[in-house]
Chains A and B, each alone.
Chain A
Amino acid sequence: MTALPEPTPSDNSSIYRRFPADWWHSSRTKKPLPQRVFRPRPWQNEDKPGDTDGLSISRAWISSAKTASTCPFTSRQLSLASISTKTLVELALTIKPDPTEHDDGHALIPELNSLLGREPDYQLWIEETAIALRNAATIILEAIPQAMR
């Protein structure tokens, strides 16, 4: 049996990025998203190599917001940000499909990886790209613990 072709993004497609937002008073005042939401985990050492393959995202044209916002390790629902694929193209970023058991739409932004981030100049580029991404992001789901509301 031949597998069905994977859906392709349209011009107004977007990607999702999940993040924990337990203390973020943006939820009250609509201030910017944390920049760290879009920065890959950096290289620290061989035991903590960070996001060597790139930044994890979900492709909104394949994943649901519910799947994308649910942490596969804890089943806890986290907050979710969305960015248009057009923005990624403008920032010279690409999307590499990386489906998982939890999320068929899982993918990576390979340019935002911790291996290249070991170079100081590349690290600064990652920091600035993360700022650009967060400035372009829209919050589509806020999962704040009850006590913080």
Chain B
Amino acid sequence: MNSTISQSGSATRSVSRLYVDTGGATGTALAASSMGPTREDLWRDAIDCMLRWSGNPSIFSPIDQPDPAVLESAIDLAFDLWDPEKNRPVTMRWAAPTSIVPSGDGRIAFEWNAGTDTIIIEIVGQGAATATVFHAGKVMEHGPLRRDPLTRKIEMALKS
């Protein structure tokens, strides 16, 4: 199987809830945007934070310190998911993650939460990541993601 997260089985349910409709169509998106920072603010904050990590890695213990190549890939992925140029259709734009944390041994994990759904994309090396999709505490999908050598983007494709 080689299907995109947004087009495959259980993951479709999870991921579709995580898109942010910046066109203002859904009540949830409107409620979220009126209560706090916008999607753009959050993505910008996230990228700024990773740039700070990049410039000051010693704030982390040796165990938590992100690998420079991993950090570079994580920033690339964040820009790709953020899509500030709005190249993708509205329904294909990702909300900013709930969290971005160093996940040990140089890795970085992005996590999205929506109800009982959780998606984690963990950058594990230069241009390499894994995705895990949970529903109600159970793993629904788990697999590697790879950087496309032509587009340089980490493809949102689960290969199992």
Q: Which residues of A contact B (CB under 8 A)?
A: 19-26, 28-29, 31-37, 39, 41-42, 44, 48, 50-51, 71-74, 76, 124, 127-128, 131-132, 135, 145, 147-148
Known contacts: A25-B98, A36-B120. The answer to whether A148 contacts B64 by CB under 8 A is no
Return chain A residues, CB-CB under 8 Å to B113: 31-32
Q: Is the CB of B99 within 8 A of A29?
A: no
| A-B residue pair count with CB separations less than 8 angstroms | 100
Distance of A87 from chain B, by nearest CB (Å)? 13
Chain A interface, >50% SS class: loop
Q: Is the CB of A148 within 8 A of B98?
A: no
The CA of A113 and the CA of B35, in the complex, are separated in Å by 40
Q: Is the CB of B109 within 8 A of A34?
A: yes
Interface residue from B36, B60, B96, B120 paired with A20 (Cβ < 8 Å): B60
Q: Is the CB of A35 within 8 A of B120?
A: yes
Q: Is the CB of A44 within 8 A of B98?
A: no
Return chain A residues, CB-CB under 8 Å to B61: 71-74
